[in-house]
């Protein structure tokens, strides 16, 4: 189970912007896309989670360490706002669990023997394709 973190509303900046794409006569009048900005460094998240967020290679994280999410899926500003917050929560929950450490393993004796046997078989097949010099 992933630990959940509540993000205080004062740490998230949401602005209404005009959505892209077709929209008819109303498109130039109504701003119903949500533009979310969340500063990782200034947040109240634990230090480990902040480091993991900044280490993510996500294109939504700017060079300044600000998460920028644009939600314009719905025609309602309120739905887009909740969608942007949901995506932010999902992103934070993704780095909240500590990744398991990889334990290096050794190949078994049988697998090594099989590999060498297959290599020898391929070598004989390939050597049989070459010219025979007498």
Which residue ranges form the domains of the chain, and what is each CATH number?
Answer: 9-96 (3.30.160.20)
This prediction's pTM: 0.68
The secondary structure of residue 59, as a DSSP letter, is T
Q: What does the pLDDT average to over 106-117?
A: 97
Task: Let me know: does 40 contact 53? Beta carbons within 8 Å.
Answer: yes
Q: Both tokens of residue 25? A: 């006569």
pLDDT (tens digit per residue) in 22-78? 766 676 777 888 999 999 888 888 888 888 888 888 888 888 889 999 998 888 889
pLDDT (tens digit per residue) in 77-92? 899 999 999 999 998 8
User: What is the structure's pLDDT at 1?
Assistant: 47
User: What is the structure's pLDDT at 3?
Assistant: 57
């Amino acid at each position: 189970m992933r630990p959940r973190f509540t993000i205080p509303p004062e740490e998230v900046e949401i602005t209404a912007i005009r959505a892209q794409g077709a929209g008819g006569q109303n498109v130039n009048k109504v701003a119903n896309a949500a533009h979310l900005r969340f500063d990782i460094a200034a947040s109240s998240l634990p230090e480990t989670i902040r480091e993991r967020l900044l280490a993510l290679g996500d294109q939504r994280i700017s060079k300044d360490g600000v998460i920028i999410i644009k939600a314009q899926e719905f025609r309602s500003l309120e739905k887009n706002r909740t969608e942007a917050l949901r995506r932010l929560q999902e992103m934070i929950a993704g780095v909240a669990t500590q990744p398991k450490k990889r334990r290096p393993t050794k190949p078994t004796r049988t697998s090594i023997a099989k590999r060498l046997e297959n290599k020898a078989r391929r070598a004989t097949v390939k050597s049989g394709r070459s010219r025979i010099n007498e």
